[in-house]
C-alpha cells in the first residue's frame, strides 16, 4: 500500500532458521538460547554473545532456497494486503527480522492510528501466540498510547475447523 495509511495489519509469524546459517554459530546460539529460556544466562559476556548471534540470525539474508517459511509468510502478508486494502507488515516471533515489536514500531512511524495484530498460529496452547505475542502487544499499547492496537486472537475453533475442512475438500 502507500505507507501513509492509518490502518495497519501486523502479521505475526513464527520465523525459522535460514538453512545456510553457519552450523557452529547455530549450535552456539541454541546453547545460549536454552540458557536464556530457563533464566540461566550467567554473565554479561553470555548475554552479549546471545544477542549478537540472535541479531545475526534475524538479519541473515533470506532467499526462497534458504528460508521458504520467511518467503511464504511475506507472501501471505502481501495477499492479506491485497484483499484488505490495508498496509500489512510481517513481524516474526523469533529467528527473523523484523520482530513483532519492530513491525509495530514501523507501522507507528508510518502514521498508523489503528493496528490489528493477527497471527498465522491458529490454535491455543502455544507459548508464542498465547503468551509472547500477547505480551508484545500489551507492551506496544503502553509505548504508543495514541494508537489503537488490538491482537485479533484467539481464533474461534469452529471457524478454524471449517477453514481446515474446506482445505480437505479441495483434495477429496
Residue 33 has pLDDT above 80, yes or no: yes
Give me the CATH code for the 7-15+80-170 domain, please. 3.40.50.1400
Domain boundaries, the chain: 7-15+80-170, 23-58
**Residue 139 pLDDT:** 98
* Residue % of the chain over a pLDDT of 70: 98
* Residue % of the chain over a pLDDT of 90: 87
Long-range contacts of 157-164 (CB under 8 A, 24+ apart): 160/122, 160/123
pTM: 0.91
Given a contact cutoff of 8 angstroms between Cβ atoms, the answer to whether 21 and 55 are in contact is no
Mean pLDDT across the chain, nearest whole number?
94
* pLDDT grade for 115, boundaries at 50, 70 and 90: very high
How many Cβ atoms are within 10 Å of 15's Cβ, its own excluded? 22
**Residue 57 pLDDT:** 97
- Residue 123 is inside which H or E element, if any? none
Residue 137 C-alpha cell reads as 502487544
Find the mean pLDDT for residues 161-165. 97
Point out which residues pair with 88 in neighbouring strands. 9
From the list 135, 137, 102, the residue with the least C-alpha distance to 116 is 137
Count how many Cα atoms sit within 13 Å of the Cα of residue 153 in the half-sphere of its side chain. 25
Residue 170 has pLDDT above 90, yes or no: yes
Which DSSP string do the residues of 28-59 spell out, in sequence order?
A: HHHHHHHHHHTT---SHHHHHHHHHHHHHHHT
Amino acid at each position: 500500500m502507500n505507507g501513509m495509511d492509518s490502518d495497519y495489519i501486523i502479521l505475526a509469524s513464527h520465523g525459522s532458521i535460514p538453512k545456510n546459517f553457519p552450523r557452529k554459530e547455530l549450535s552456539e546460539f541454541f546453547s545460549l538460547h536454552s540458557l536464556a529460556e530457563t533464566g540461566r544466562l550467567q554473565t554479561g559476556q553470555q548475554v552479549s554473545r546471545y544477542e549478537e548471534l540472535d541479531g545475526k540470525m534475524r538479519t541473515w539474508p533470506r532467499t526462497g532456497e534458504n528460508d521458504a517459511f520467511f518467503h511464504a509468510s511475506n507472501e501471505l502478508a502481501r495477499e492479506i494486503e491485497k484483499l484488505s486494502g490495508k498496509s500489512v507488515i510481517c513481524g516474526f516471533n523469533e529467528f527473523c527480522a523484523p520482530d513483532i515489536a519492530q513491525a509495530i514500531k514501523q507501522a507507528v512511524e508510518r502514521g498508523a492510528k489503528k493496528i490489528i495484530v493477527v497471527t498465522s498460529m491458529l490454535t491455543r496452547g502455544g507459548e508464542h501466540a498465547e503468551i509472547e505475542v500477547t505480551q508484545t502487544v500489551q507492551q506496544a499499547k503502553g509505548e504508543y498510547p495514541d494508537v489503537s492496537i488490538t491482537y485479533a486472537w484467539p481464533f474461534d475453533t469452529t471457524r478454524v475447523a471449517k477453514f481446515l475442512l474446506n482445505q480437505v475438500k479441495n483434495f477429496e
